[in-house]
A and B are shown apart, each in its own frame.
Chain A
Amino acid sequence: MRCDEVREVLAEHLLGTLPEPEDLEVRGHLRGCAGCRREMAALAEGVSLFSRAAHETAPPEGLKERVLSVLEEEWAQQPAPAGAARKWNWMAAAAAIVVLAGSLGWAAAADRRAVRYEADAANYQNFLGVLGGENVRVGTLSPRGSRDLHGSVVLYDAKAGEQSWALLLVRAPGMEGTADVTLSSSDGRTIRLHELTFEAGGDASTWLVTSSSLKPYDRVAVTAPDGTQIATGTISGERTPTG
């Protein structure tokens, strides 16, 4: 699509009325064209202004409490109902945690090497293959700086109608407190996993189950609360099993 073609339909893209195939093209174009993004920002400001002018009305007292308490109820029932058609992958994820933890000898030997972890991640991929879990990708964490740290990340890219999930296990003797784990894609998108909490001995694990596709995400970073990166890794689907 050329810029002039995109600009002609940008308002529709914003208002959510552009048919999907064309909308997809527009989104692709916008990712790589700053000029059209600027134009879209101007139109978006127009939409925002229109919403205020056309229908901003103070809601009645009490509605806020009602909405917040409904959300509390919703949270109390987590995981949120995911729709009957959606296959739930909790079982696989739970099994995965147990097996991966076991295969890494989590409670045992402290002197494992990164190589070994890499092999384990590959074994894990085999294990999921056996479970029927295709679309599994793995990555190995590399420490930033001289810290002693090992770990793996496993991503399951769901097929349509399923939940995707990510699982990260790390061991960093001496680490305490919490850390953030972020997956990122080459086009700048990020997703955060649940916060990582290090136990005594420096073991920690975290996960995420989501309806979003994890396919675009191919990098992982572990970041301390003060913003310094502790570890990073690249996630690939091509790893073959090793001894």
Chain B
Amino acid sequence: MRSRDPGSDAALMRAFSRREPGAAEGLYERYASRIYGLGIVMLGNDATAQDLVQDTFVKLWRSAERYEPSRGKLDTWVLLVARSLAIDALRRRVLDARSLQAIGLPGEVSGEPGPEEVAETADLADRARRAMVSLSDGQRAALELAYFGGKTSAEVAEMEGIPLGTAKTRIRTALLRLREAMEEHREV
């Protein structure tokens, strides 16, 4: 897998904050498909997913100087930024739907999910998907709630009706298990 050291994350963000067009493009190449896909999964359609990509990049630019490699990988930071924007969009949508209902108009018109073109599955994504199979349903659900929903372990525990310790363990084990499964696939 293409792993990058924190130094190169920092260098990329520094170049981005200095408006080097190559850096903006580099960031786009690296993250657009994951942000777009996050939008498809969380928001359900192509147009809002595209908006999510745009808004995420603007926010990344506006906070580029606040990125501290010591606090975590760029990957996670970018995804957290995208996720928080997606959650905001979902909240707005819920509010909009309520107000539309109040005045008697139908809500969201286009519920049609999915991108038109099927994603060209990179080898890595493919292997990652195969690794997902190795997660139990419980592990996967806990991880999805925390990852997509930004739910704390306590919230995950409540929603899943499981003890707090179990929720924590499931999320952690799911992440480590994915990594192990990838290693196994790599060796095959």
Contacts and interface: CB of A to CB of B under 8 A. Distances in A.
A56 B33 contact: yes
Contacts, number: 183
Contact of B147 (A15, A19, A187): A15
Contact of A49 (B25, B49, B148, B178): B178
Size class of B's contact patch?
Answer: 35 or more
A47 interface: yes
B115 A15 contact: no
Interface in A59-83: 59-60, 63-64, 66-68, 70-71, 74-75, 80
Interface string A46-62: 11111111111111100
A230 interface: no
A7, A16, A18, most chain B CB atoms within 10 A: A16
A68 B36 contact: no
Contacts of A55: 34, 37-38, 40-41
A94 interface: no
B64 to A, nearest CB: 10
A42 B120 contact: no
B24 A68 contact: yes
Given A44-B72, A48-B76, A187-B70, A53 B178 contact: yes
B115 A43 contact: no
B128 to A, nearest CB: 4
A62 to B, nearest CB: 9
B73 A49 contact: no
Contacts of B119: 56-58
B97 interface: no
A203 B157 CA distance: 62
B138 interface: no
A224 interface: no
A17 B153 contact: yes
Looking at chain B's contact residues, is the secondary structure mostly helix, strand, loop, or mixed? Answer: helix
B172 A43 contact: yes
Contacts of B57: 67, 70-71
Contacts of B3: 45
Interface in A145-197: 187-192
A31 interface: yes
Nearest to B156: A17
A71 B24 contact: yes
B176 A50 contact: no
B166 interface: no
A52 B128 contact: yes
A53 B129 contact: yes
Contacts of A8: 168, 172
Contacts of B151: 17
23 contacts: A11-B168, A12-B153, A12-B171, A16-B150, A19-B152, A45-B179, A46-B177, A47-B175, A52-B124, A53-B131, A54-B144, A54-B147, A55-B38, A55-B41, A56-B34, A56-B128, A57-B115, A60-B115, A64-B28, A70-B54, A75-B19, A211-B63, A211-B65
